[in-house]
Amino acid sequence: MSSTIHFDVDSEGIATLTIDVVGMPVNVITPGFQEDLSLALDRVAHDGAVTGVVLTSARRDFMAGADIKDLVTAYDRGVLASSAAQLSSALSRIYRRLETCGKPVVAAINGVALGGGLELALSCHYRVVADTPKALLGLPEVKVGLLPGAGGTQRLPRLIGISQALPLLLEGRQLQPAEALRLGVVHEVVPPHELLDRARAWLRSKPDASAPWDRKGFKVPGGVGMQSPSLAQTFMVGSAMIARETWHNYPAPAAILSSVYEGCQLPLDRALALESKYFGLLLSGPVARNMMRTLFVNKGAAESLVRRPAGVTRSRVSKLGVLGAGMMGAGVAQVSAEAGMDVVLLDITEEAAERGKEQVRKLLGKRVERGRMTAAESDRLLARILPTSTYAALEGCDLVVEAVFESRDVKAQVTRQAEAVIPKQAVFASNTSTLPITGLSEASCRPDQFIGIHFFSPVDRMPLVEVIVGQLSSPETLARALDYVGQLRKTPIVVNDSRGFFTSRVFGTFVAEGQAMLAEGVAPALIENAARSAGFPVGPLAVSDEVTVELQWSVTRQAEADLGAQFVRPVNYAVMQRMVEQGRLGRRQGGGFYDYPPGAPKRLWAGLAALWPLAAQQPSVDELVARFLCVQALESVRCLEEGVISHPADADLGAVLGVGYPAWTGGVLSYIDTMGLSQFVARCGDLEAKHGHRFRPTDSLRARALSGRPFHDPAFAASAG
C-alpha cells in the first residue's frame, strides 16, 4: 500500500492499518505518513467491503508524534504564523477525515502514544491500550513551547471535561494505561497479547461510526465557558497560576488555555481552525525554536552519546564503587542501583555508610507510599547497595565514583586506597564540582583512567551529568564514563578541565551577581523577584543558602591559595566574607541570607539592611534581569573560547538542565543568538560602563557579531559548534 502504512483487509471486512515509518527510530509523523494516511482513508471510505478499521503499529511504540527536527527550523526559516498554522491544519484535516470516514475506527495502542500520536488515537472512535509500562499516553507539546496542533486541545476536553484535561495539557504529563482508563482517555486496558483481538471484537459489535461530539445534543462534560461557576473559577485561577509560574516568558500555556476556553464553545471544525491559529503563533516564535532545539533535539543527541569517541567498544558497569555516603554519594548509589548495578557504598565508618543507605531507603519509601513502586521493588533495589568501610569490598568494580569532601588532600587519600584494590582496567571518577581534574589525577597511579563525573543535587531528580576530561584522560576513559551515564539514562555534556569547569563557573556568576546587587544597596526582595521574573527557579540569595555561603567561601579561598598573585577576587568576595564573619553560613547551618523559622516559610534575614543599607534609588526589574542573563551568557562565551566547552549545544544544555538558566531562552548561547549578537554586545557594553569589566564582551565575540555568525547554525545540526 505505502511506505509507512500496511493495509490489510480480512474476510470480515475489517481493515488493519499498521503504521511502520521506515527509516526512523520510532514512528513519527512525516509528510510521507500524512500522504499515506490520506490515501488509506480514501480507500476505507470508498471500499464497500471495508466494515471497520483497526489502527495499530508494527513498532514497539504506537506513534511518538511529530518529527521535531522538521519543526525546529521554522523560526530560522522565517516561517510566518499563517504558514505555520497551515502545517497544523493540514494534519488536523486528515485526522478529521479519519473521524468522519463513515466507518468505525479503533486505535489498538501497543506502546507510546504522545503528541500527534495520541491526537491520532483521539480521532478514532474507540481506544484499546496494552497493559504495559511502555504504553505511555500524553500531550507533552507544552514542554517544547508548543500546543497540540492536531485536535488535542479540542478532543481531550470534549472527551473527559475541561477541568480534567487542562492539567494534562498544561503540564504535558504522561499517563500509564490504568490512569488513562480511569480518566476516560481510553476505553479498555488489556493484556498485550489480546490487544488486536479486543479491537476487532469491538468492531464486531457494530458500533456507531461517529464521535460523541458529532452527535446531536452533545455537551462537553462539566460545561464550557462561564456556564459553570466551578469552571469559571478554573479558568480564572488557571490564568493567575500561569502568570505566576511563567512570568509571561512562556507563551504556550496561555495559548493552550485560550484555545481550550474559546474552542470548546465552537463547533469542532471551527475549533480546530482556532487551535491551528494558536499553534502557528507559537511555532513561528523564538521560544518554541529555543526549547525544541535544546530540550528535545540536542538533549536527545546528548543522551544518544553524540560526544562519545568513535572506535571504542561499548561497555557496561556491573559493579560500581561509591566513595562517600553523604547526600551526593547516596544519590549516586541510588540511581546506579536503579539502573541494575551492584553498588559498594563506602565511608569512613560502617555507621556512616549505613546512614547513606538509610537515605536511599527513605527516598524509596516515599515512592512506595505514593504508589510509584512496590515494597518488593524497593527491597530488591536496596539489596544491590552494600554499605561498608572496607576498601577490599571494591574488588571487581568496573568504575568508582569518588564523592567525598571537597578537599584535595582527602580526595588524594581515597584515590590511592581505592586504586590499590580495584581492577587495573577500572575507571576512577571524581564527583568534584570545582577542583581541576588534572590536579586530582596526580594522586592516581593511572591518570589516563581518571576522569570527572559531576552529578547535580538531588541526584535522583537532576537529569544532567557533567563529564570532565582531564589533560591525561584517555578517549577510552571518556567513552566508558559516557557509557555509564547512558546506563543511568541521564543527559551528559562533555567539558574540558578547568577550575570550576563549565556549570560551576556559570552558576557562580549568577550567585555573585545577586550578592553584588546586595552590596550596591538593591533591595533583597527585588533581587530575588527579578531573578524569578527572568525565569530562574530560585533567586541568587536563596540558592546561596542552599549550596551554603560556607562552601562558596571555602572554594574561593582554595582558589586564592592555589592561584596566588593570579587570583582575582570575585565581585561578591566582601559579601561572602562578611556573611561568614556574621555566622550566616547557609540553610543547613541555621540561616544565611534567609531565616528559616520552624514551621513557617523562610523569610529574608532582617539583618541584611544593617549590613548593606538600601540605595535611595532602586534599579528597574528589567535592568536586573539583563544583568542575570547577560553575565552568565558572557561567561559561557569565555568558556567556549577557552575550550572548556566545545559545542554550543552542550553549553545550552548545561545551563538549562544544570544551573536553572531559563528554558525559554534555550540556554546561554541561544539567548545571545535570539537577542542578536550585535544587540547583545551593545547591551554588555552598557552594563560594563555601569557595573564593571565583568560585562566586557571578548574580542572574539565582537568579531563574531561583526561577521553576523551566530553560535547555532540556522540550518540546524544537533552538534552545531
Which CATH number characterizes residue 276's domain?
A: 3.90.226.10
The parent domain of residue 597 ranges over 504-707
Q: Is residue 308 part of a domain?
A: no
CB atoms within 10 A of CB 190: 18
135 has pLDDT over 70:
yes
Number of domains, the chain: 3
The mean pLDDT of the chain is 94
293 has pLDDT over 70:
yes
Note the helical H segments in 215-349.
229-246, 251-263, 268-283, 286-292, 299-303, 327-338
Q: Under 8 Å CB-to-CB from 25, ≥6 apart: which residues?
A: none
718 has pLDDT over 70:
no
- Half-sphere CA count of 361, side-chain side, radius 13 A: 12
Distance CA(190)–CA(172), nearest Å, equals 25
Whether residue 326 is found in the same domain as residue 375: yes
**Tell me, what's the pLDDT at 717?**
42
Whether residue 492 is found in the same domain as residue 508: no
What are the tens digits of pLDDT across the range 671-699?
A: 999 999 999 999 999 999 999 999 999 99
Determine which helix (DSSP H) or strand (DSSP E) holds 16, and give its type and residue range: strand 14-19
Distance CA(471)–CA(478), nearest Å, equals 12
Distance CA(264)–CA(258), nearest Å, equals 10
Whether residue 487 is found in the same domain as residue 511: no
1 has pLDDT over 70:
no
Whether residue 429 is found in the same domain as residue 531: no
What are the tens digits of pLDDT across the range 319-330?
A: 999 999 999 999
Q: What is the pTM of this model?
A: 0.92
Cα 392 from chain centroid (whole Å): 38
What are the tens digits of pLDDT across the range 610-623?
A: 999 999 999 999 99
Distance CA(359)–CA(386), nearest Å, equals 13
What are the tens digits of pLDDT across the range 478-490?
A: 999 999 999 999 9
Whether residue 50 is found in the same domain as residue 139: yes
Contact 712, 669 (CB under 8 A): yes
Distance CA(666)–CA(411), nearest Å, equals 36
* 51-60, 109-118, 217-226, 518-527: segment of lowest average pLDDT: 217-226
pLDDT bucket at 558, cuts 50 / 70 / 90: confident
Closest CA to 452 of 419, 497, 502, 406: 497
Contact 219, 161 (CB under 8 A): no
Whether residue 35 is found in the same domain as residue 178: yes
Which residue type is seen at 520? E
> What are residue 385's phi and psi, to 5 degrees?
-100, 120
Q: Which of 241, 258, 284 finishes a domain?
A: 284
**Tell me, what's the pLDDT at 716?**
53
> What are residue 455's phi and psi, to 5 degrees?
-85, 165
Per-residue pLDDT averaged across 28-54, rounded?
A: 95
pLDDT bucket at 719, cuts 50 / 70 / 90: very low
Q: Which of 471, 498, 525 finishes a domain?
A: 498
- Locate cell 574488588: which residue? 395
Distance CA(17)–CA(4), nearest Å, equals 10
720 has pLDDT over 60:
no
Task: Quote the cell numbers at residue 30.
Answer: 512525516
Contact 645, 502 (CB under 8 A): yes
- Locate cell 586564592: which residue? 560
Percent of residues, the chain, with pLDDT higher than 70: 99
Whether residue 591 is found in the same domain as residue 613: yes
Distance CA(303)–CA(493), nearest Å, equals 9
Q: Is residue 298 part of a domain?
A: no
Per-residue pLDDT averaged across 272-297, rounded?
A: 97
Whether residue 480 is found in the same domain as residue 547: no
Percent of residues, the chain, with pLDDT higher than 90: 89
**Tell me, what's the pLDDT at 467?**
98
Per-residue pLDDT averaged across 121-135, rounded?
A: 96
Closest CA to 208 of 51, 103, 98, 96: 103
Whether residue 430 is found in the same domain as residue 568: no
Q: Is residue 637 part of a domain?
A: yes
Distance CA(249)–CA(285), nearest Å, equals 12
**Tell me, what's the pLDDT at 241?**
83
Say how many Å lie between the first and final Cα of the chain, rounded: 42
Sheet containing 174-175: give its strands across.
113-114, 137-138, 174-175
3-state secondary structure 68-97: HHHHCCCCCCCCCHHHHHHHHHHHHHHHHH
**Tell me, what's the pLDDT at 472?**
97
Contact 454, 466 (CB under 8 A): yes
Q: Which of 498, 526, 547 finishes a domain?
A: 498
Active site amino acids = 454
pLDDT bucket at 239, cuts 50 / 70 / 90: confident
Residue 682 burial (C-beta neighbours within 10 Å; 0-12, 13-18, 19+): middle
Per-residue pLDDT averaged across 203-215, rounded?
A: 94
Contact 292, 72 (CB under 8 A): yes
Distance CA(263)–CA(148), nearest Å, equals 13
Closest CA to 570 of 631, 611, 623: 631
**Tell me, what's the pLDDT at 477?**
98
Whether residue 152 is found in the same domain as residue 11: yes
428 has pLDDT over 80:
yes
Angle between helices 350-369 and 327-338 (to 10 degrees): 60
Distance CA(158)–CA(152), nearest Å, equals 10
Q: Is residue 185 part of a domain?
A: yes
Q: Is residue 312 part of a domain?
A: no
Distances (CA, A) of 431 to 173, 404, 455, 456: 32, 8, 6, 9
Which CATH number characterizes residue 462's domain?
A: 3.40.50.720
Q: Is residue 552 part of a domain?
A: yes
Distance CA(131)–CA(691), nearest Å, equals 60
Sheet containing 188-190: give its strands across.
5-9, 14-19, 52-57, 105-109, 126-130, 188-190
Helix, strand, or coil (residue 656): helix
Distance CA(389)–CA(323), nearest Å, equals 9
Which CATH number characterizes residue 528's domain?
A: 1.10.1040.50
Task: Quote the cell numbers at residue 107.
Answer: 486505535
721 has pLDDT over 60:
no
Contact 435, 404 (CB under 8 A): no
Paired sense of beta strands 137-138 and 113-114, if any: parallel
**Tell me, what's the pLDDT at 30?**
93
Whether residue 486 is found in the same domain as residue 617: no
Q: Is residue 625 part of a domain?
A: yes
pLDDT bucket at 503, cuts 50 / 70 / 90: very high
Whether residue 458 is found in the same domain as residue 527: no
Closest CA to 384 of 429, 461, 322, 323: 322
pLDDT bucket at 521, cuts 50 / 70 / 90: very high
Helix, strand, or coil (residue 389): coil
DSSP per-residue letters across 574-635: HHHHHHHHTT--BTTTTBSSEE--TTS--EE-TTHHHHSPPPSSPPPHHHHHHHHHHHHHHH
What are the tens digits of pLDDT across the range 317-363?
A: 999 999 999 999 999 999 999 999 999 999 999 999 999 999 999 99
Beta strand extents in 390-507 (DSSP E only) = 399-402, 427-430, 450-455, 464-469, 491-496
Distances (CA, A) of 543 to 460, 507, 547, 571: 19, 10, 6, 17
Q: Is residue 304 part of a domain?
A: no
